Amino acid sequence: MAKKQNNTSSANGQTVVAKIISEFKDRNRAEIKKWQSALTLATNPDTPRLYQLQDLYDNLESDGHFISQVNLRKAATLCNSFSVIDRKSSEVNVEKTELLNTEWFYDFVGYALDSVIKGYTLLELVNPGTMEFMLIPRRNLVPTKKLVLFEAAGDKGIDYSVGFERTLIHIGKEEDLGLMSNLCGQLIWKRNAQQSWAEFAEKYGMPLISATTNKTAQADINKIENMLVALGEAARAVLPEGTTIDIKPFAGSDSYQVYDKQIERINSEIGKPITGGTMISDNGSSRSQSEVHERNLDDKISQFDRRLIEFTVNGQLFPIMQMWGHNINPETDKFAFDDSFELSLKEHWDVINSALYHYEIPEDWISKTFNFPITGKKEMQQQPIFAQLDSKNKNRFSANFQ
C-alpha cells in the first residue's frame, strides 16, 4: 500500500499494484463450464477468488458489439456536463469546476463506470499532486474479505479495511460481480457460433478439387498433388481410379439462417442489459423506436450511472482531495451533473425570445450563449415588414396566380 506522500511524489514502488506478482492470464477458448466454474469460485463463502472470472471477462470483452454497447453507456455519462456548486446557494463555482474538468477526472469517472460492467472496483491514489489513480487488478481482490492478494490464487495479501483512507476509493458493492457475470454465457455462445461458421466456410466455402489416377507410384501421386496445391486454397484430394467422394449438403443448405441468426439474437441479448435496448446502434429500426430507446439510456440508465458517480465523488473523492491540500471542501462543495432539459439552439432561442417580452436579459449573456456579437439594441419594428408595404406591392407576385 502507498505510504504517506507529498503532493508531487508517487509511491515509488510501494503501491498495492507494485506489490502484485505479474501472472499469466488464461486466454484459451472460453467454454460454458469454465464460466460456471469461475462463478462458483467467485461466490465461494469461505475462500472466494475472482481471478478466473476476471480473466474470462478480459477474454470476452473484445467482442465488437459488446464494446459498442459499453462505450455508448459510458459516453452517456462522460459527455454530460457537470459542476461544483455551493451547497447553500446552489451557485456554480467556476474555478473548482475547472479543477475537475481535466483528464485525470475523466479517467477516474471511466474507472468508476467500469464497476457497473465488471463489478466492485478499488482505486488507489498514486500521485496526490496530479490526482492520478491506478486500478487495483480485480483478479487480485477479495472484496468480501477486504483483501488484496499478492498472487491471485494465493492466500497472502494486504488487509485494506483500515489505514488507507487517504489513498483508496471503493466503488460498488463488495459482492457485485458486474453485468458481465450474466453476459458471459451469451458472449461465449456468440464466439462459438462465429468459430463454427468460420470452420464451415473453410470446409465448404470453396469447391473440392479432386484428381483420379491409376498411378500407384508415390512419386507420381506427389506430382499430381503438387499440381492441385498450385490451384489455390480449395480442398483437394488424389484418389485411386474408381473412388468417389460424396459431400453432404449443410442442414437446410443455409448457414446464414443457422449461424448469423444466432449471432443476431445474441447481440440483442447483450445490448438490452447494457443500454436498455437494441435500436440505438443496430439497423432495421424505426426512428421513433430508436428515439424511445435512446431516451431510456439518457433518462434512466445513465441517470443511475451519474448518481453512482455523484455519490462516489462527494462521499470519497472530495474528502481525499481536501486531505491532500486541494481547494475542495466537502462540507460546502457539492459535485452534480447538469440535469436540466437539453434544448436545441432554435428551441433555446424561442424560449429567450419569448422571455424578452417580460424580463430584462443581459445582452452580454445572450451574445455569449448564442455566440454572436451584439453592439446595442435595435429599435423594434411596430409591425411586420410586409404590413408596411402598400397592398399593390404586397400582392404584385400573387396577382399572377389569380
Tens of pLDDT, residue by residue over 267-293, are 888 888 777 665 555 555 544 444 444
Per-residue pLDDT band for 25 (boundaries 50, 70, 90) equals: low
Per-residue pLDDT band for 2 (boundaries 50, 70, 90) equals: very low
> Which amino acid would we find at residue 266?
I
Are 65 and 272 a contacting pair, CB within 8 Å? no
Give the phi and the psi of residue 27 in degrees, each rounded to 5: -120, 25
Distance (Å, whole) CA 78 – CA 107: 10
65 or 149, higher pLDDT: 149
387: DSSP letter: G
DSSP lists the bridge partners of residue 277 as none
Per-residue pLDDT band for 218 (boundaries 50, 70, 90) equals: confident
Per-residue pLDDT band for 128 (boundaries 50, 70, 90) equals: very high
Among residues 394, 376, 306, 295, which one has the least CA distance to residue 341?
Answer: 295
- pLDDT at residue 186 tops 70: yes
Using CB atoms within 10 A of its CB, is residue 140 exposed (0-12), middle (13-18) or buried (19+)?
buried
- pLDDT at residue 251 tops 60: no
Over residues 312-323, mean pLDDT? 96
Tens of pLDDT, residue by residue over 53-66, are 999 999 999 888 88
Per-residue pLDDT band for 372 (boundaries 50, 70, 90) equals: confident
Lowest pLDDT segment from 99-113, 149-163, 170-184, 270-284: 270-284
Are 130 and 104 a contacting pair, CB within 8 Å? yes
